[in-house]
Chains A and B, each alone.
Chain A
Amino acid sequence: MSRFASRGGIILGIILLLLTENFRPAAAEAGKDPAGPEAQAETQAEGTVEKLTAFLATLPFEFHGFWDARGGLRTQVDPHESKTATLEETRLQLHFFKSLDWAKFRIKSDFLYEGVKGKADVDLREANALFTPFEFMELKLGRQILTWGTGDYVFINDLFPKDYKSFFIGRDDEYLKAPSDALKASFFTPIFNLDFVYTPRFNADRFIDGERLSYFNPQLGRLAGQDAVISPLQRDEWFGDDEIALRLSRDIKGYGLALYGYHGFWKSPMGFDPQAGEASFPRLSAYGLSVRGAVWKGIGNFEMGYYDSRDDRSGDNPFIPNSQLRYLAGYEQEVAKDFTVGVQYYLEQMLQYDAYQRTLPPGSYAADQFRHVLTLRLTKLLLYQDLKLSFFIFYSPSDQDVYIKPNVHYNITDHWSAEVGANIFVGENDHTFFGQFKNDTNVYSGVRWSF
């Protein structure tokens, strides 16, 4: 972890250097700039915010960011976690962007102190360059956030890394997506667009590993936490443990159609290696499609995917997930002024279920062949959209578990915002997808200053 700290020091150093190096000549030029009078007027304006804005405008690159502090508490005792706090952190995000004729450069990095872990950390979110070598092609190289697909908090063909820990403890939604170190090549033709993402070394999810949040450990057959922290067998061989993701998409009269392909690994350690006694990332390929567009008075979407669990195609290895079919149908509509309702139905079907049942170790909890999940999202904007009330619920009638995410977010000014929210897990059983987190139910609040 000291590796992170030193890397953080280097990044901060570079940033400071850039700031001091570039500020003086740029500020000197500002006076001659045709936009000078405006800039001068801003400099004369009173108040730190105006001064800061004026300073930022003189920089030869875009520089923005925020400072964010938040905390969260478990609302019940968790026998597997020693701390009541689930979130206790302050972070500074710095974001640099420079556009040249031949490329665009972006660096976005978070510097944070995590009270729960008692240490400082650096989370480099983006460090990439975007080139357009040909009119029909774009190339984005480096650390980047990647998203595609049509689901709302439900991902089928988006097999880019997620950060479920951040999602479950109440960090901003931005952190649900973890960065990828990848090359993205996009080709644009009049008929279709093709996106090709190559990740030379596997980027796993930031999964629930037992630190901070407890989970169900199938090997122990019970809930576990700090007593059984998952440290999976690493998939870290350059170009050996690589991932390929493809999307072929086109738009027909406002309807977005897409085909997807993925070749890599289960993004969370869904497998178990009995010899090593450790969790593992089994091989996975996925193929799918999606469509999204105007339906009735709102927006409808449909997405499906076939998960080919390449290490257990016959389905008789109890330590590796079986292949699956996943389906999602959703609809969203604004039902009243600034009030939007979204519903989704998600179905996960386990293939080779007979083989799964036959080979399941005695005493294990059997998963259902079909996992049904319904989601509902309610969003109400008030006070000229400065106050946002949102409510999201996942409910699985087959697993008999529920995950509720209420959130209230208020923009106090154009710079300051505050929010409170909760992550509520309820389940009939310990081993189901959301039920396993029942002791992790938490409330959180945060405040942010953006510039």
Chain B
Amino acid sequence: MKVHFWLVFVLSLGLLAVPTPGGAQAPEAHKTGAEIMEREQQAFYSPGKDMKAEVRMELSTAAGEKRIRVMTMLRWNDPRSKDQKYFIYFREPADVRGMTFMVWKYPLKESDRWIYVPAVDLVRRVAARDARSSFVGSDFTYEDISGRNIGADGHTLVQEEKLGDRNCYVVESVPKEPTDYVKRLSWIDKTTFLPLKEEYYDVQNQLARVFTADKIENIATVGEQKSIPTVTRRTMKNMKTGHRTEVTFTSVSYNVGLQDTIFSERYLRNPPERWIR
């Protein structure tokens, strides 16, 4: 398996050897906020037919205390619908090592989630809600990890501006039903449609959380002559507490040939060795 990495920040756009799915054509003139977010979700949460990555989360308090979470993540996009399935194998810390976590995500309703606790051979359904629950204690919610339903917010393109050297759309998203934020501003790269920055405002309309895409790499896909720009390092910072979570993706590969059958109780109990080693 041959994987090439290019740093988007290092290479200028013109040097990109192969067109990317989001960046093939020049950005159209009049896109609505919803259309941009649709493209963003596609580029950020569901590129490729499937994906495999090693994920390392570093949780730091304002005082600098750190906690580490390490896991292997598998994602599969249902070719017949917009459903997605996720499989996570936890490696660190010690008290969750060997646990597996499975999510069946649907575009319009709450996800189904299962967790397997090997010490007691127990498969449990997880009652957590997408929007509000923190993923493994990090600053990311489940929704931040696997995407929020587009229809759950009203999206408005508020302006177009440069963020660093990148041309961005700035989209304001307002939740239709009350959640833990009242407004989100997203800086979406016009070429890759990846979110480069997001600001979450709380009920007092104060800046509560800030997401930043810190590193973007082009990942070659298996068996195809295209690469996928991927956020391989991202940070979510809680502006109120100073707590932050930095997530690093390594060994990212797309279109590795995951099958629907992996996302089942069988493999929850007996993790698929081929994919998690």
Contacts and interface: CB of A to CB of B under 8 A. Distances in A.
B112 A254 contact: yes
Interface string A288-308: 000011100111010000000
Interface size class of B (residues with CB under 8 A): 35 or more
B93 interface: yes
A28 B67 CA distance: 31
B94 A450 contact: yes
Interface in A324-346: 332-334, 336-338, 340, 342
Interface in B128-161: 128-129, 132-134, 136-138
B228 to A, nearest CB: 24
Interface stretch (B27-35, B117-125, B162-170, B202-210): B117-125
Contact of A299 (B95, B104, B127): B127
Interface stretch (A80-88, A111-119, A234-242, A380-388): A380-388
A22 interface: no
A113 to B, nearest CB: 21
A86 B92 CA distance: 33
A146 interface: yes
Contact of A254 (B59, B104, B127): B104
Contacts of B132: 334, 336-337
B137 A381 contact: yes
Contact of A130 (B95, B243, B270): B270
A309 B4 CA distance: 65
A451 B104 contact: no
Which applies to chain A's interface (DSSP): helix, strand, loop or mixed?
A: strand
Contact of A337 (B110, B125, B180, B270): B180
Contacts of A340: 127-128
A273 interface: no
Contact of B67 (A301, A414, A451): A414
Interface string A346-377: 00000000000000000000000000000000
17 contacts: A64-B97, A99-B277, A130-B270, A146-B121, A147-B123, A254-B104, A254-B112, A256-B125, A293-B125, A294-B110, A294-B112, A334-B127, A381-B134, A384-B59, A384-B137, A386-B137, A414-B94
Interface of A: 64, 66, 99, 104, 130, 138, 144-148, 173-174, 176-177, 186, 188, 193, 249, 251, 254, 256, 292-294, 297-299, 301, 332-334, 336-338, 340, 342, 381, 384-386, 411, 413-415, 417, 450-451
